[in-house]
Amino acid sequence: MKIKIIYFTFIYISIISNMNVFSQSDIEQSNVLKTQLIQPEHLKSGDTISILAPSGVLNNFDNKITKAINIFRSWGLNVVLGNHIYDKNGHFAGTDKNREKDFQKALDNKNIKAIWCARGGYGAVRIIDKLNFDNYLKNPKWIIGFSDITVIHNKLNFLNSESIHAMMITGFEDIGQNNDSLSKLKNVLFGDSLSYSIASNKNNKTGKSEGIIVGGNLTLIQSTIGSKTELKMKDKILFIEEIGEYAYHIDRMLYSLKRAGYFENCKGLIVGQISDLKKNTTDFGRSINELILDVLDEYNFPILFDFPAGHEKTNFPIILGRKVILDVSKSESKNILFPVI
């Protein structure tokens, strides 16, 4: 099988080339590959995907998984479940070892064309360093999820591979085939173009830039600072979302990223859904948007607010690792273009 390695040369223009297969250790040791991008093949009818639970336990998930399987089959896909997907080990969907085994099996199986994570919660960080991605690099596949799955997305970014920040099986119970988030995700997986134009926000910091989009859940991004797979932000556009935090926690995490140099060579910030904020006994004194602008006041890159991705019913897909064009204004719609590859 051939792997797509994408080289970006001009705005709006990309060139596809074929390269040799590299091992995980090759990528970790080579500076050459930092400008290369691995893209899994788009899905087609007859392909097989796997539903896995690398993080939290799946309580009362039968209806959700059944509905997801029926939808995937209507797309012409075959579906296999991880052997331990319904295991329970306290907070987790089985032991670390069994969650690792399920994920490794899917990574190694060249007939599995996508791994769809059932839910987030917590647990991916306990297995990520035990996974071997050598066979994945020979036969890349789409890995789909968000929240705790940010840990896996960051690993894939470290390996210079694209992945998809998008809804998980936990969101399938109350949706239909025509759900906008699901329709967009299907289009992405099957190779259609992707672009967004969204109503403006008065807090937007205007500008136009291009860069590789990375990120996910803010807590998980901040927790990887100092690790092997921490994000390298030169020429990157950072996407963040969060749920269930105090405003001062978000402020502190952003300052942690700032002090670690994340914004020095950053090309832009996309702020997704910041949901279910906790109330402190003392009001923080500013909105989340104001907080973000305050932390990043000294930087000149564009900042886009209100992108509909995160822990809410509308959760639009983002192709992490894709070079995008970000065009932000206050008075007009704001645009994110994912060039077709």
Provide the pLDDT for residue 12: 28
- Comparing C-alpha atoms, which of 124, 186, 129, 136 is closest to residue 161? 136
Provide the pLDDT for residue 333: 64
Instruction: Tell me the mean pLDDT in the region 250-271.
Output: 98
- 226: Cβ–Cβ under 8 A, 6 or more apart, which residues? 260
Provide the pLDDT for residue 158: 96
Helix axes 288-295, 247-259, angle to 10 degrees: 20
pLDDT band at 273 (very low <50, low <70, confident <90, very high): very high
Q: Count of CB atoms within 10 A of residue 32's CB? A: 10
Q: In the chain, how many H helices and how many E strands?
A: 9, 16
Percent of the chain with pLDDT over 70: 87
pTM: 0.89
Provide the pLDDT for residue 177: 63
C-alpha to C-alpha distance for 125 and 243, rounded to whole angstroms: 18
Residue 28 pLDDT greater than 80, yes or no:
no
Q: Count of CB atoms within 10 A of residue 18's CB? A: 8
Residue 9 pLDDT greater than 50, yes or no:
no
pLDDT band at 171 (very low <50, low <70, confident <90, very high): confident
Residue 167 pLDDT greater than 60, yes or no:
yes
Q: What angle do CA 213, 219, 222 make, to 5 degrees?
A: 70
Mean pLDDT of the chain: 88
Residue 175 pLDDT greater than 90, yes or no:
no
Provide the pLDDT for residue 335: 75
C-alpha to C-alpha distance for 201 and 328, rounded to whole angstroms: 10
Instruction: Tell me the mean pLDDT in the region 139-155.
Output: 98
Provide the pLDDT for residue 339: 65
pLDDT tens digits for range 82-120: 999 999 999 999 999 999 999 999 999 999 999 999 999
Provide the pLDDT for residue 172: 82
- Comparing C-alpha atoms, which of 308, 315, 274 is closest to residue 166? 315
Least confident range of 8-22, 38-52, 186-200, 219-233: 8-22
What residue ranges define each of the domains in the chain, with the CATH number in brackets?
A: 48-189 (3.40.50.10740), 194-338 (3.50.30.60)
- Comparing C-alpha atoms, which of 166, 121, 124, 172 is closest to residue 145? 166
Residue 207 pLDDT greater than 80, yes or no:
yes
Q: Give the distance, in angstroms, between the CA of residue 196 and the centroid of all CA atoms in the same chain.
A: 16
Provide the pLDDT for residue 329: 81
Longest dimension (CA), the chain: 58
Provide the pLDDT for residue 83: 97
pLDDT tens digits for range 176-204: 666 899 999 999 999 998 889 888 899 99
More confident position, 72 or 199:
72
pLDDT band at 61 (very low <50, low <70, confident <90, very high): confident
